[in-house]
Structure 1
Amino acid sequence: MGLITEVLLLPFAPARGSIWVLGQVLAEAERQYYDPATIRAELARLEQQLEAGEIDETEFDRREDELLDRLETSSRSGAGTGNGTTG
Protein backbone atom coordinates (compact mmCIF):
# COMPACT_ATOMS: atom_id res chain seq x y z
CA MET A 1 0.00 0.00 0.00
CA GLY A 2 2.82 2.45 0.79
CA LEU A 3 4.46 1.99 -2.61
CA ILE A 4 1.19 2.54 -4.47
CA THR A 5 0.51 5.68 -2.44
CA GLU A 6 3.99 7.03 -3.21
CA VAL A 7 3.56 6.35 -6.92
CA LEU A 8 0.15 8.03 -6.99
CA LEU A 9 1.43 11.05 -5.05
CA LEU A 10 4.64 11.38 -7.09
CA PRO A 11 3.30 14.29 -9.18
CA PHE A 12 2.84 16.22 -5.93
CA ALA A 13 6.41 15.63 -4.72
CA PRO A 14 7.65 19.13 -5.70
CA ALA A 15 4.78 20.72 -3.76
CA ARG A 16 5.46 18.56 -0.71
CA GLY A 17 9.13 19.46 -0.89
CA SER A 18 8.32 23.15 -1.17
CA ILE A 19 5.99 22.95 1.81
CA TRP A 20 8.71 21.23 3.85
CA VAL A 21 11.24 23.94 2.89
CA LEU A 22 8.77 26.69 3.81
CA GLY A 23 8.19 25.02 7.17
CA GLN A 24 11.93 24.93 7.83
CA VAL A 25 12.32 28.60 6.85
CA LEU A 26 9.42 29.57 9.11
CA ALA A 27 10.87 27.63 12.05
CA GLU A 28 14.27 29.32 11.64
CA ALA A 29 12.68 32.77 11.30
CA GLU A 30 10.73 32.21 14.52
CA ARG A 31 13.85 30.98 16.30
CA GLN A 32 15.72 34.13 15.31
CA TYR A 33 12.75 36.40 16.06
CA TYR A 34 12.50 35.09 19.63
CA ASP A 35 16.25 34.71 20.25
CA PRO A 36 16.98 36.65 23.48
CA ALA A 37 20.36 37.82 22.17
CA THR A 38 18.74 39.27 19.06
CA ILE A 39 16.08 41.03 21.12
CA ARG A 40 18.70 42.51 23.48
CA ALA A 41 20.68 43.80 20.49
CA GLU A 42 17.53 45.40 19.09
CA LEU A 43 16.86 47.03 22.48
CA ALA A 44 20.39 48.45 22.48
CA ARG A 45 19.94 49.83 18.94
CA LEU A 46 16.61 51.33 19.95
CA GLU A 47 18.22 53.11 22.89
CA GLN A 48 20.95 54.43 20.60
CA GLN A 49 18.30 55.80 18.24
CA LEU A 50 16.62 57.57 21.14
CA GLU A 51 19.89 59.08 22.35
CA ALA A 52 20.76 60.20 18.82
CA GLY A 53 17.37 61.91 18.48
CA GLU A 54 16.28 59.68 15.61
CA ILE A 55 13.08 58.68 17.44
CA ASP A 56 11.01 60.34 20.15
CA GLU A 57 10.02 59.00 23.58
CA THR A 58 6.61 57.82 22.37
CA GLU A 59 8.09 55.76 19.53
CA PHE A 60 10.78 54.43 21.87
CA ASP A 61 8.20 53.34 24.46
CA ARG A 62 6.02 51.64 21.85
CA ARG A 63 8.88 49.71 20.26
CA GLU A 64 10.45 48.89 23.62
CA ASP A 65 7.16 47.37 24.81
CA GLU A 66 7.02 45.21 21.68
CA LEU A 67 10.58 43.99 22.22
CA LEU A 68 10.01 43.30 25.91
CA ASP A 69 6.86 41.33 25.04
CA ARG A 70 8.93 39.24 22.60
CA LEU A 71 11.57 38.69 25.27
CA GLU A 72 8.93 37.60 27.77
CA THR A 73 7.38 35.23 25.23
CA SER A 74 10.82 33.84 24.49
CA SER A 75 11.58 33.17 28.14
CA ARG A 76 8.18 31.55 28.74
CA SER A 77 8.28 29.27 25.71
CA GLY A 78 12.00 28.56 25.66
CA ALA A 79 12.15 29.81 22.07
CA GLY A 80 15.46 31.00 20.68
CA THR A 81 18.84 29.70 21.61
CA GLY A 82 20.06 32.42 23.93
CA ASN A 83 23.62 31.46 23.06
CA GLY A 84 24.58 34.98 22.01
CA THR A 85 24.46 34.39 18.27
CA THR A 86 22.29 36.60 16.15
CA GLY A 87 22.44 34.68 12.90
Structure 2
Amino acid sequence: MGLFSGLLGLPLAPLRGVVWVGEQLRDQAHAQLYDPVAVRRQIDQVERAYERGEITEAERDEQQELLLARLTGSGGPADG
Protein backbone atom coordinates (compact mmCIF):
# COMPACT_ATOMS: atom_id res chain seq x y z
CA MET A 1 0.00 0.00 0.00
CA GLY A 2 3.03 2.31 0.35
CA LEU A 3 3.51 2.50 -3.41
CA PHE A 4 -0.17 3.21 -4.04
CA SER A 5 -0.42 5.94 -1.38
CA GLY A 6 2.89 7.36 -2.60
CA LEU A 7 1.55 7.66 -6.13
CA LEU A 8 -1.65 9.29 -4.92
CA GLY A 9 0.29 11.73 -2.75
CA LEU A 10 2.71 12.68 -5.52
CA PRO A 11 0.58 15.56 -6.87
CA LEU A 12 0.61 17.12 -3.40
CA ALA A 13 4.42 17.11 -3.12
CA PRO A 14 4.86 20.64 -4.51
CA LEU A 15 2.25 21.93 -2.08
CA ARG A 16 4.04 20.26 0.83
CA GLY A 17 7.27 21.93 -0.31
CA VAL A 18 5.64 25.34 -0.42
CA VAL A 19 4.12 24.82 3.03
CA TRP A 20 7.52 23.78 4.40
CA VAL A 21 9.21 26.87 2.93
CA GLY A 22 6.45 29.06 4.37
CA GLU A 23 6.92 27.53 7.81
CA GLN A 24 10.68 28.11 7.63
CA LEU A 25 10.17 31.76 6.63
CA ARG A 26 7.67 32.24 9.45
CA ASP A 27 10.06 30.75 11.99
CA GLN A 28 12.97 32.92 10.81
CA ALA A 29 10.86 36.09 10.79
CA HIS A 30 9.60 35.34 14.29
CA ALA A 31 13.14 34.73 15.54
CA GLN A 32 14.37 38.03 14.09
CA LEU A 33 11.34 40.04 15.15
CA TYR A 34 11.45 38.93 18.78
CA ASP A 35 15.22 38.51 19.20
CA PRO A 36 16.16 40.62 22.26
CA VAL A 37 19.42 41.74 20.68
CA ALA A 38 17.66 42.94 17.51
CA VAL A 39 14.94 44.72 19.49
CA ARG A 40 17.54 46.42 21.68
CA ARG A 41 19.39 47.56 18.55
CA GLN A 42 16.17 49.06 17.19
CA ILE A 43 15.53 50.87 20.48
CA ASP A 44 19.01 52.36 20.24
CA GLN A 45 18.37 53.42 16.63
CA VAL A 46 15.17 55.18 17.68
CA GLU A 47 17.03 56.99 20.46
CA ARG A 48 19.76 58.12 18.06
CA ALA A 49 17.17 59.34 15.56
CA TYR A 50 15.59 61.40 18.33
CA GLU A 51 18.95 62.83 19.36
CA ARG A 52 19.63 63.86 15.74
CA GLY A 53 16.25 65.59 15.61
CA GLU A 54 14.85 63.22 12.98
CA ILE A 55 11.82 62.29 15.08
CA THR A 56 9.86 64.02 17.82
CA GLU A 57 9.77 62.99 21.45
CA ALA A 58 6.25 61.65 21.00
CA GLU A 59 7.34 59.55 18.00
CA ARG A 60 10.31 58.24 19.97
CA ASP A 61 8.12 57.28 22.91
CA GLU A 62 5.56 55.56 20.67
CA GLN A 63 8.19 53.55 18.80
CA GLN A 64 9.96 52.56 21.99
CA GLU A 65 6.69 51.42 23.55
CA LEU A 66 6.00 49.21 20.53
CA LEU A 67 9.49 47.74 20.66
CA LEU A 68 9.30 47.11 24.40
CA ALA A 69 5.91 45.44 23.96
CA ARG A 70 7.45 43.18 21.32
CA LEU A 71 10.37 42.42 23.61
CA THR A 72 8.14 41.52 26.57
CA GLY A 73 5.58 39.70 24.40
CA SER A 74 2.68 41.95 25.41
CA GLY A 75 0.47 43.67 22.89
CA GLY A 76 1.15 44.06 19.19
CA PRO A 77 -0.21 42.29 16.13
CA ALA A 78 1.23 38.91 17.08
CA ASP A 79 -0.99 38.70 20.18
CA GLY A 80 -4.16 38.15 18.16
Q: Which amino acid aligns with 2:8?
A: L
Correspondence list, 1:1-87, <5 A: 1-73=1-73
| Structure 1: 4+ residue segments shifted above 4 A | none
| Number of residue pairs matched by the alignment | 74
TM-score (norm 1): 0.79
Higher RCO, Cα 8 Å, sep 6+ = 1
Matched letter for residue 28 of structure 1: Q
Structure 2 spans left out of the alignment, 5+ residues: 75-80
What letter is aligned with 1:34? Y
Unaligned runs of 5+ in 1: 75-87
Whole-Å separation in 2 of the counterparts to 1:21 and 1:69: 28
Question: CA shift at 1:20, angstroms?
Answer: 0.4
* Aligned-pair CA distance for 1:56: 0.3
Aligned residues: CA RMSD: 1.4
Deviations 1:8-38 (A, max 9, x none): 0101111110110110111011011000000
- Secondary structure of the residue aligned to 1:67 is helix
The alignment partner of 1:9 has SS state of: helix
Instruction: Between 3-12 and 29-38, report the one with greater CA deviation.
Output: 3-12
Percent of counterpart pairs with the same letter? 43
